[in-house]
Amino acid sequence: MTSTFSFTFEELPLVEEKGRQAALINGEAEIAYTRDVWDFTIKSISLDSWSELDRKWKPTPLDEGNPIYSMVYDRLEHSWSERVQDAIREQLAEDHVAGLEWRAEQRAELSWER
């Protein structure tokens, strides 16, 4: 079964060269995952951007053809994959707790109906 969650990234470098990082960006990626934390898919990427009109930060979705999309995608799949996998592990733990709570509620409803 595949589920999704939003992975928030902060200070993800677009450039990594000779031990240096540059062009640090913030944003969010929608990640599809299974129980196997190694098996994840990036469904979408958006960057935090400032809106002068609204005077606040807003997510800006990136098209898959955008070169920055490709750069972020590459970082999330390679140099940041361990962070993504850790977030998936946390999400799986939350999913497990939510499942236990749901089952307990279902049992309580069944016993109440009897």
Looking at residue 105, its pLDDT comes to: 79
Looking at residue 114, its pLDDT comes to: 62
Q: What is the mean pLDDT of the chain?
A: 91
> Three-state SS for 84?
helix
Q: pLDDT tens digits, residue range 71-87?
A: 999 999 999 999 999 99
Distance from the first to the final alpha carbon of the chain: 33
| Ranges of each domain in the chain | 3-113
**pLDDT-flagged residues of the chain (< 70):** 37, 113-114
Looking at residue 12, its pLDDT comes to: 97
Sheet strands side by side (includes 20-33)? 3-17, 20-33, 40-51, 56-61
> Three-state SS for 54?
coil
Looking at residue 37, its pLDDT comes to: 66
